[in-house]
Amino acid sequence: MLRMKFVGFKMFFIIALSLMGSVVNSKETSEFKLPTNFKPVSYELHLVTHLEDKFMFEGVVVIRMTCVGATDTIVLHSNSLNIDTEDVVVVNTFGFIFPVDSVSFDPEKDLMYVKSTEKFKPRDKYVLKIPFTGNITDQLAGYYRSSYVDKESNQTRWLAVTQFEPADARRAFPCFDEPAYKATFKIWMGHKKGLTSISNMKFMKQINCPLKSDYVIDEFEVSVPMSTYLVAYMVSDFVYTEANSGYDQVKFRIISRKDAANQTEFAINLGPKVLKYYEDYFDEKFPLHKQDMAAIPDFSAGAMENWGLVTYRETELLIDLDVATYDNIHGVAEVIAHELAHQWFGNLVTMKWWTDLWLNEGFATYVAARGVDFLYPEWNSFQDETVQNFISVLDLDSLQSSHPVSVAVGHPDDISQIFDTISYTKGSFLLHMMNTFLGEDTFKQGIRNYIHKHKFSNAEQDDLWRSLTEEAHRQGTLDKNLTVKQIMDTWTLQTGYPVLKVVRDYSGGTVTLSQERYLTIKSNGTDNKSCWWIPITMTTSGDFNQTNLKSWLNCENNNLTTPLAKDNKWVIYNMQIAGLFRVLYDTRNWMGIISVLNDPTKYETIPMLNRVQLIFDSLSFSQVGDMDYGITFQLLKYLKHEKEYAPWLAAFHGLDRINNLLKRTPKHAVFQNYMQHMLSSVYSKFRNMNGQTNGVEDIRFKNIVTAEACSHQIKNCTQQALDLFRKWMKIIDPDNNNTLPIELKPVIYCQAIKCGGVDEWNFLWERYQRSNLGHEKENILHALGCSSRKLLLQRYLNWSLDNSIIRKQDALTVFFSVAKNDAGFSVAKHFLYHRIADISEYHQPRGDRVGRYVNVIGSQMKTEEELEEIQSFINKSSGYLKGADLVINQTIESIKRNTEWTSKFYDKIENYMVQ
């Protein structure tokens, strides 16, 4: 599954959305797991969907099971279903009805107990038949409803669709709702004539419903063995666009609203190519006969990898190439590649338990980046992804309250909260690191061996380590005395990451390396036991080619001194940021690096990715007091001749922390002046908003520089935005004649709303209501929160909890956009404090989403008074924050980090920003 990344404030949102992390006080997983007495073999699911009139479903599930351990009770999952206990039947191997003594439920744990007067015997087979009914809710979980307005008739059309990951199949039918319980599924879907149903497998035939003349029943093929969270079905009046790809083995379709069918071209061309790339990469054929991808108007995540029927938020699948930005196009490619990667990593081979969610999500994220890079090499997106991942992981994982990649989880609330940056992005980066130190051939063959061995089954991370170790030893790319487990357990089983400390003895000609856990709030020595196997790569001023693995800094040898020639002016470790760690040098080495960076003829001798790390690390070290801000600001001066996008991205990201800490304070103007001066030379290259850009690198560069220039109130930027927007307002038919430069629309929208008034706001709101393009609507929602008018923002926030005005999936987008706006912070905070009961009820059963409201407010707080204030609010509102305890802990730690910075640096920071 792909978690939503919000467009517009991309880096902030990747990090903020990820702050759902550490599993605190997680109960033992066994307490919430099913007993192992039964193993399901197959399901027959008969379901009738009632839309429009009563929004409910009724059905019967028939589960064939094998008894594994003697017991008198079958235990399975059920949540929010109506079950007539008298109609629950168990039949044994011989077809005899087995006596059912009682059927009971434990709502707290979503469990259903079917107790017999006789013992079930090991190795015997049984059939459990359960009739049930349930409501098709608007909760975006389980089997839920969505709607849209048909343009031609102006009528509301309803659809019903599933979203089962991680633990919501039990809301749709009683089942063994854990990933290890793979079984086959045979599904029949009853629905009203005029609608269509689809499911994981190919449609076989349709018959008239014998009991209701205006209903039909669709039958689907038996599925391959799969986990319940991957079961999917949908009833709608959607249309189908089929690929004409010559890829005969798999029928490939995009399913969407009729009015959006013209936005499917990109996906229908890309999908089959990505599928073929993965067949080659994994050396394993796609096992199904068809692959549907459906665009859903209301969808809580970004997308969901259900086998054979991948479901997407419209913005992650549909795109109009004539008006889409590069970010929009790249985002859709990335999400499609991510979901199709899951067909192997997650679906074909599934983690045994959610502890190893990262095996699903980390792999899909990593391999998606490879797939997009293969299909669109001109985008250079793998390198860009490496930079963005490095930045987002190091930020989140520097908190004490982060969590390990492989993490014990039990309660469904805990499971939902680890769909975060650690599982996705850190998992992906660690695979990138392994690929680098093992080598491409070893890594790829090890992955292939793992998939071949465990396909249609379940695995855990030790199985992956074993496959990679065997292949590495076979190819001779890893010392026979070393295992991948020995190295990688240090990265996946403990929280955080190391800082590599580099201290040179300039007279003796040596360098000493040591490590400790990097924390933004120092832990008074409590983390001295943490250590990692760090792959050591380096380069010096005398040799730019030393990029191969030199050695390991490990737990047995955590203080490594090696020779280093005295005439080397500087040394840099972690070549091409292939390892997930920071590097802290002694002051003299930093100054040697800075002298090279500030020479316009020499700075490019330091590889670009290492320039990214130097910028990002120096800003982070200064923030926590490990390095003088004076050195960092000297380093940043080199940017005046930096021509590449990624180092500027790292600088803007690091400086944005200072911006957030100075916002709404008297010293913010000083920072604004510093940024205006810093941007002046690079902005001059891109100052004409209507100017042409050449290639993707230039597009990305112009977008980020223009956004920063407008954000820091460079007059030319804000005035251009307002002028272009007002010119567009005067055009006849502005919906079909948007005259704004496509790539800069998000920036221009926000600036025009910020500097404009009610007329601009109403004009853009009307564009939102009329638009048929998901990306355009999303850009507009972000921009409307940029207003300086508090009454407009108050109304906008109120609308965000009304699904008839703004879709539930977009409520967080609205809140984030207002809360990150200087004028909107206090409005959003007041809204959170006074509407917490409504917010909590609106987002049920997803308590983790409520936590994100608290986090976006808390992450901007920086004083002891504010800490006490939000702590008081959290204490009073604990009943509304169920399922959000993890993000709450990280929010509190973030505020403490901010208050520490304020007390140390607020009075001094302007001294460093002298031009």
State pLDDT tens for residues 227-264. Answer: 999 999 999 999 999 988 655 678 999 999 999 999 99
Structural contact between residues 717 and 710, judged by C-beta atoms closer than 8 angstroms: yes
Map tokens 């295992």 to a residue.
483
361 is in an annotated binding site: yes
* Cα–Cα distance for residue pair 395/893, rounded to 1 Å: 13
3-state SS assignment for residue 680: helix
Compute the distance between CA of residue 860 and CA of residue 660 in angstroms, rounded to an integer: 6
pLDDT computed for residue 526 by the predictor: 52
pLDDT tens-digit map of 836-864: 999 999 998 777 789 999 999 999 999 99
Give residue-wise pLDDT tens across range 275-331.
999 999 999 999 999 999 999 999 988 899 999 999 999 999 999 999 999 999 999
Q: Where are the beta strands (DSSP E) in 22-123?
A: 38-50, 56-67, 71-77, 89-91, 97-98, 100-106, 111-120
Show the tokens assigned to 471: 């292949």
Per residue in 785-828, pLDDT tens?
999 999 999 999 999 999 999 999 999 999 999 999 999 999 99
Yes or no: say if 195 and 236 are a contact pair by the CB < 8 Å rule: yes
Task: Give residue 10's pLDDT band: very low, low, confident or very high (50, 70, 90).
Answer: very low
Q: Which amino acid is located at 902 in the chain?
A: T
**Is 338 annotated as belonging to a binding site?**
yes
Task: Say if residues 59 and 47 touch (Cβ distance below 8 Å).
Answer: yes
The pLDDT, as a whole number, for residue 542 is 60
Q: What is residue 264's three-state secondary structure?
A: coil
Nearest-angstrom CA–CA distance, 906 and 583: 26
Q: Return the active site residues.
A: 339
Quote the CA–CA distance of 216 and 125 in Å, as a whole number. Answer: 33
> Is residue 29 over pLDDT 60?
no
Q: Tokens at residue 48, please?
A: 């009738």
Structure-token pair, residue 214: 């205006």
Mean pLDDT (whole number) for 62-71: 96
State how far the alpha carbon of 800 is from the alpha carbons of 112, 130, 361, 638, 764, in Å. Answer: 36, 39, 30, 44, 16
Say if CB 899 and CB 858 are below 8 A apart.
Answer: no
* Model pLDDT for residues 323-376, shown as the tens digit of each residue: 999 999 999 999 999 999 999 999 999 999 999 999 999 999 999 999 999 999
The pLDDT of residue 3 is above 70 = no
Distance between CA atoms of residues 157 and 807, nearest Å:
15
pLDDT surpassing 90 at residue 442: yes
Taking every pair of Cα atoms in the chain, the longest distance, rounded to a whole number of angstroms, is 93
List 871's β-bridge partners, or say none. Answer: none
pLDDT band at 28 (very low <50, low <70, confident <90, very high): very low
Closest CA to 612 of 430, 390, 437, 426: 390
| pLDDT at position 913 | 84
- Between CA 490 and CA 501 the distance in angstroms is 18
Judge whether 461 and 54 are in contact, CB under 8 Å. Answer: no
Q: What is the pLDDT of residue 846?
A: 77
- Residue 565's Cα: distance from chain center in Å? 45
* Residue 365 tokens, joined: 């994220």
Q: Where are the alpha helices (DSSP H) in 800-863?
A: 811-819, 825-843, 847-858
In the prediction, which pLDDT does 528 show? 64
Mean pLDDT value across residues 694-723: 94
Confidence of residue 522 (pLDDT cuts 50, 70, 90): confident
Q: What is the 3-state secondary structure (H, E, C) of 472-529?
A: HHHHCCCCCCCCHHHHHHHHHCCCCCEEEEEEEECCCCEEEEEEEECCCCCCCCCCCC
Structure tokens belonging to residue 673: 């002046």
The pLDDT confidence band at residue 11, using thresholds 50, 70 and 90, is very low
What is the model's pLDDT at position 247? Answer: 59
Element containing residue 885 per DSSP (H, E)? helix 885-905
Predicted TM-score (pTM) of the model is 0.94
Which residues is 207 bridged to in the sheet?
Answer: 217
End-to-end CA distance of the chain: 46
- pLDDT per position as a tens digit, 162-215: 999 999 999 999 999 999 999 999 999 999 999 999 999 999 999 998 888 899
Single out the residue of 659, 526, 735 nearest to residue 651, CA to CA: 659
Per residue, what are the HEC states of 742-781? Answer: HHHHHHHHHHHHHHCCHHHHHHHHHHHHHCCCHHHHHHHH
Residues 660-688 have a mean pLDDT of: 93
| Per-residue pLDDT tens digits for 770-783 | 999 999 999 999 99
Give the separation between CA 575 and CA 609, rounded to whole angstroms: 8
Task: Please determine, for residue 9, whether its predicted confidence score (pLDDT) is greater than 50.
Answer: no
Q: What are phi and psi of 101, to 5 degrees?
A: -85, -45
Q: How confident is the model at residue 443 (pLDDT cuts 50, 70, 90)?
A: very high
Which contiguous run of DSSP H or E holds residue 312?
strand 309-313
- Concatenate the DSSP letters of all residues of 267-295 into one string: HHHHHHHHHHHHHHHHT----SSEEEEEE
Q: How far apart (Å, rounded) are the C-alpha atoms in residues 587 and 3?
A: 41
Q: What is the mean pLDDT of the chain?
A: 91
Per-residue pLDDT at 899 exceeds 50: yes
Half-sphere exposure of 112 (CA within 13 A, CB side): 23
Going by pLDDT thresholds of 50, 70 and 90, the confidence category of residue 160 is very high
